[in-house]
Amino acid sequence: MGVCMSESVTVTTWYLEQTSPGDLVPARVPDRAAVEVSPARVASPEFSRFLYASVGQDIAWTDRLPWTYARWREFLDRPAVETWVAYEHGTPAGFIELDGTAEGLVEISYFGLLPAFRGRGIGGHLLSYGTSRAWDLASRWPGRAKVGRVWVHTCTKDGEHARANYEKRGFRLYRTETGQEPCPVQPGPWPGA
């Protein structure tokens, strides 16, 4: 997003969706010996904040930085919230966070790679894998309605290839919004980063 020269910045947000598991267009699978995707089975505010801050450090993810430990815990303990993590040779490379509702909707609330892992084919695979997990989320959460829609939003503050990656995976644009947002004061994983 660069350095803000004023108090606000114009942001365009795109909302995309899939309405059937058949909408998913899988990406190429990277070297299976090197890349593995697995769920974070223990809700850990520390780990989730690490992933969020590390992935979002250079793309102005700031909305969750002020969250307290208790707020992270509250979110992660909600039913049908899942974090799936991509590892390359055992090192966290990125994550996809799913937030399901009892009515059969699943939001991909966050998705991205740490900067050092971008451009290596991991992102498309992680998005494909995570979207598949969104479509079968009800099978892991008894009492949930069958998933009928998976949606996501991305914006001009995200990585330059974010929207294209979603569209390559079969997500379709259904709404666009443009507005002013405050310029982030201290983006990144820690003050001054």
Instruction: Please check the confidence at residue 22 and state whether its pLDDT lies above 90.
Output: yes
CB atoms within 10 A of CB 42: 7
Instruction: Please check the confidence at residue 184 and state whether its pLDDT lies above 80.
Output: no
What would the pLDDT profile of 133-173 be if each residue is shown by its tens digit?
999 999 999 888 999 999 999 998 888 889 999 999 999 99
Over residues 42-66, mean pLDDT: 91
pLDDT value at residue 31:
73
Residue ranges and CATH numbers for the domains of the chain are: 11-180 (3.40.630.30)
- pLDDT band with cut points at 50, 70 and 90 for residue 186: low
Instruction: Please check the confidence at residue 13 and state whether its pLDDT lies above 80.
Output: yes
Q: Which amino acid is at 53?
A: A
Q: Are the CB atoms for 157 and 118 separated by under 8 Å? A: no
Write down the pTM of the prediction.
Answer: 0.90
What would the pLDDT profile of 86-132 be if each residue is shown by its tens digit?
999 999 999 999 999 989 999 999 999 999 999 888 999 999 999 99
Place of tokens 């498309």: 124
User: CA-to-CA distance for 57 and 72, rounded, in angstroms?
Assistant: 18
pLDDT value at residue 59:
83
Place of tokens 């004023």: 6
Instruction: Please check the confidence at residue 27 and state whether its pLDDT lies above 90.
Output: yes
Output DSSP code: residue 28.
P
List 113's β-bridge partners, or say none.
Answer: 94
Q: Which residues of 19-31 are buried (b: 16+ CB within 10 A; e: fewer)?
A: eeeebbeebeebe
CA distances from 136 to 113, 148, 150 (A): 23, 10, 11
Over residues 67-86, mean pLDDT: 96
Q: Diameter of the chain by CA atoms?
A: 50
Q: Name the H helices within 25-108.
A: 45-56, 69-76
Over residues 4-25, mean pLDDT: 90
List 17's β-bridge partners, or say none.
Answer: 151, 172
User: CA-to-CA distance for 115 and 193, rounded, in angstroms?
Assistant: 14
